[in-house]
């Protein structure tokens, strides 16, 4: 495992899009979840603030070919442009692009199907298939940035964003590419998607100060909420002086399915992914940004896995889902952003309703966890760049 530098990144979510804006949102104890009704289906979600929704709207209408794209694609393009600029990569440079999503073009797909049903299943738009195909994500980003490197899009449920990191690490370590742009994007705030999560009995109906109780191991109800967002990272081979953080190690694990959404009581997949990641490093992990979706079983099983792997030397733990909800495929990427910010700012972002949460003695290495339906776990360890 060769060390890889993260030389630039950008995101767009309820937290904002500029680094200072996002850090300021993390620094306050407010959450960004609100009750929204879409086509008579109500649920707590986080969504883009008005100025960023307007920015996406402007991007959509900046070129005729962008007017037919789904919000997932537009958010990816928006974040990718800023990430490229922050990494100081030249436009038209050769780099790989691997951006994924759990659900893909959700909003556009539902719109096309509604039109199909209304037309008595006799007509569909000729753009239905090309604009809702998952490969759209990386293809449009690569086209917008005029990259001639490999272009990959995938969906591995809620660990999609971190699986993009694994894939880029493999490409870079193999010598097949020196640079890779990775990340994930998700726009799940639709009536049908919220209804699907509610049917699983995992959605929050709490009217509490903090409706998503991620990492509250005493909660008696599931409290997951959805959110929209995207996060994109620029990875380069070796240790660069301008690296914002370094990818120190990676790990993955997959569970044997017993149910469509199953994870074992002690999250064997997370045990495997964390053990693998730890096998590449000699130093301690100081913080774990947990997946912790706010469900009873999801939170507790991951915590038990951490206890089994780390024993009595458990790092400080945190999560951002109490603040912005679960952004599905993009959640691991947004967790990576939080990890990079804590490494840069040397400040731990905890969870306000967990008063006894352990704080780290230092912040040099942070493990980021993600898992999705089917038990596809990923653990990525980021290291502070001290050059």
- Comparing CA positions, the residue from 135, 130, 132 lying closest to residue 108 is 132
- Comparing CA positions, the residue from 190, 164, 213, 189 lying closest to residue 372 is 164
* Matching residue, tokens 């109906």: 205
4-382 to CATH, choices 3.20.20.70, 3.40.47.10, 3.30.230.10, 1.20.1260.120: 3.40.47.10
* Domain residue ranges of the chain, discontinuous segments joined by +: 4-382
- Comparing CA positions, the residue from 229, 382, 231, 215 lying closest to residue 303 is 215
Model pLDDT, residue 265: 83
Model pLDDT, residue 90: 84
Rg (CA), the chain: 20
pLDDT in tens, the chain (387 residues): 789 999 999 999 999 999 999 999 999 999 999 999 999 999 999 999 999 999 999 999 999 999 999 999 999 999 999 999 999 998 778 899 999 999 999 999 999 999 888 877 778 889 999 999 988 899 999 999 999 899 999 999 999 999 999 999 999 999 999 999 999 999 999 999 999 999 999 999 988 899 999 999 999 999 999 999 999 999 999 999 999 999 999 999 998 766 655 677 889 999 999 999 999 998 999 999 999 999 999 999 999 999 999 999 999 999 999 999 999 999 999 999 999 999 999 999 999 999 999 999 999 999 999 999 878 999 999 999 998
How many Cα atoms occupy the beta-carbon half-sphere of 104 within 13 Å?
17
Give the Cα separation of 117 and 119 in Å (integer).
Answer: 5
Tokens of 261: 């959404």
- In contact, 261 and 383? CB cutoff 8 Å: no
Give the Cα separation of 275 and 250 in Å (integer).
Answer: 10
pTM over 0.85: yes
Burial of 173: CB neighbours in 10 Å, binned 0-12, 13-18, 19+ = middle
Burial of 276: CB neighbours in 10 Å, binned 0-12, 13-18, 19+ = middle
Model pLDDT, residue 120: 72
């Amino acid at each position: 495992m060769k060390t890889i530098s993260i030389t630039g990144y950008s995101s767009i979510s309820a937290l904002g899009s500029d680094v200072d804006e996002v850090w300021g949102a993390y620094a306050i104890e407010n959450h960004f979840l609100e009750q929204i009704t879409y086509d008579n289906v109500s649920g707590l979600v986080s969504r883009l603030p008005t100025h960023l929704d307007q920015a996406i709207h402007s991007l959509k209408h900046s070129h005729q070919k962008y007017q037919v794209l789904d919000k997932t694609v537009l958010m990816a393009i928006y974040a990718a442009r800023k990430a490229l600029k922050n990494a100081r990569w030249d436009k038209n440079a050769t780099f790989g692009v691997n951006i994924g999503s759990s659900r893909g073009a959700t909003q556009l797909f539902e719109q096309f199907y509604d039109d199909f049903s209304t037309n008595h299943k006799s007509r569909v738009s000729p753009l239905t298939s090309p604009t809702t195909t998952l490969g759209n994500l990386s293809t449009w980003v690569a086209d917008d940035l005029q990259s001639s490197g490999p272009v990959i899009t995938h969906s591995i449920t809620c660990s999609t964003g971190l699986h993009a990191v694994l894939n880029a690490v493999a490409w870079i370590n193999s010598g097949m590419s020196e640079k890779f742009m990775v990340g994930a994007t998700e726009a799940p705030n639709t009536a049908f998607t919220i209804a699907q999560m509610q049917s699983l009995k995992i959605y929050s109906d709490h009217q509490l100060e903090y409706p998503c109780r991620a990492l509250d191991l005493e909660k008696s109800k599931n409290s997951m909420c959805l959110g929209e967002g995207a996060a994109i990272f620029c990875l380069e081979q070796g240790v660069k002086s301008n690296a914002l953080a370094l990818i120190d190690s990676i790990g993955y694990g997959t569970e044997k399915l017993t149910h469509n959404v199953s994870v074992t009581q002690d999250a064997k997949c997370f045990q495997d992914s964390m053990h693998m990641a730890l096998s590449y490093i000699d130093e301690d992990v100081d913080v774990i940004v947990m997946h912790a979706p706010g469900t009873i079983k999801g939170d507790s099983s991951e915590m038990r896995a951490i206890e089994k792997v780390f024993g009595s030397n458990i790092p400080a733990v945190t999560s951002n889902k109490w603040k912005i909800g679960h952004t599905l495929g993009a959640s691991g990427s947004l967790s990576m952003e939080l990890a990079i910010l804590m490494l840069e700012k040397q400040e731990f972002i905890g969870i306000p309703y967990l008063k006894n949460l352990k704080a780290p003695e230092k912040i040099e290495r942070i493990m980021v966890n993600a898992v999705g339906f089917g038990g596809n776990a990923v653990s990525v360890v980021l290291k502070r760049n001290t050059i």
